[in-house]
Amino acid sequence: MKPALYYLALIAVIDRRLDELHEDVGELPEQVHRARLAVEHHQALVTETRSIIEEIRAFRARAHVTIQELRDREQRLSEQQFRVRNNREFDALTREIQTVRAERERVEQELRNSVTKLENLEAILQRQEEELARAQQELAELEHALQLLSSDQNEELMQLQQWRQRLSEKLRGELLAEYERIRTFHPDALVPVRRESCSGCYNRITPQRLVEIRMHRDRIFRCEHCGRILYPEERLPELEEVAEAIA
């Protein structure tokens, strides 16, 4: 039977690995979220540009008919001018012709402008579609990474949690509770003694205390400076030792 401190040290090793796993996965969901927002943003730009292009195309499809209609109307009004009975009627028709002609010229100008506008917008659309494709690619990669990590991690997490449970059954409840309490402010709540110092805070341990720590391995000694539990070895046990320890 190994001393309780050894099992606690194994729990500390498991916790260190669990913390690492949580850190690995920690960044990814946030990155996936940001990538998803980026895709939505690029998608909105593409949709907007496409709808403007559609509007211009629809205008161009209609414009020739509109221009022809305005021409016909102008023609009819000009013919009516030959049949007027007085100057007042003649002037009224002249004003109407001017209005129709101005409208036709406006549509013709807009039709000419729409060529350049379309060219510019299509270039913009192409850029936006490329950016959207890049954003979608990035999102897909991140989602894939998260998925892979999660499935690998789930397996490891479950194994570690199972080991941790088995080890904790070998410990007195107060001991584990004390360790958990220290862990709320020092994630590495149990540390090896290295070069006669606490390897958590690097403060020296007096020679007399060192002797005590090494002699009473069934007792718990805490660093007088930082409060971490001191493990009287140069290093913590290896994770690989767990299987044997709980066998």
Alpha helices in the chain (DSSP H): 4-81, 87-168, 173-183, 207-215, 241-246
Interface pick for Zn ion out of 201, 220, 245, 246 (rule CB under 5 A): 201
Nearest to 162 by CA among 238, 243, 237: 243
Q: Binding of Zn ion at residue 232 (CB under 5 A)?
A: no
Interface pick for Zn ion out of 223, 229, 236, 242 (rule CB under 5 A): 223
Nearer to Zn ion, 160 or 232 (CB): 232
Interface pick for Zn ion out of 39, 200, 221, 237 (rule CB under 5 A): 200
State the minimum distance, in angstroms, from the CB of residue 202 to Zn ion. 7
Interface pick for Zn ion out of 25, 226, 245, 246 (rule CB under 5 A): 226
Residues 151-190 that bind Zn ion (CB under 5 A): none
Q: Binding of Zn ion at residue 9 (CB under 5 A)?
A: no
Q: Binding of Zn ion at residue 14 (CB under 5 A)?
A: no
DSSP codes of every residue in 79-109: HHHTT-SSHHHHHHHHHHHHHHHHHHHHHHH
142 DSSP β-pair partners = none
Nearer to Zn ion, 163 or 231 (CB): 231
Nearest to 124 by CA among 59, 46, 51: 46
Nearest to 226 by CA among 94, 193, 116: 193
Binding site for Zn ion (CB under 5 A): 198, 200-201, 223, 225-226
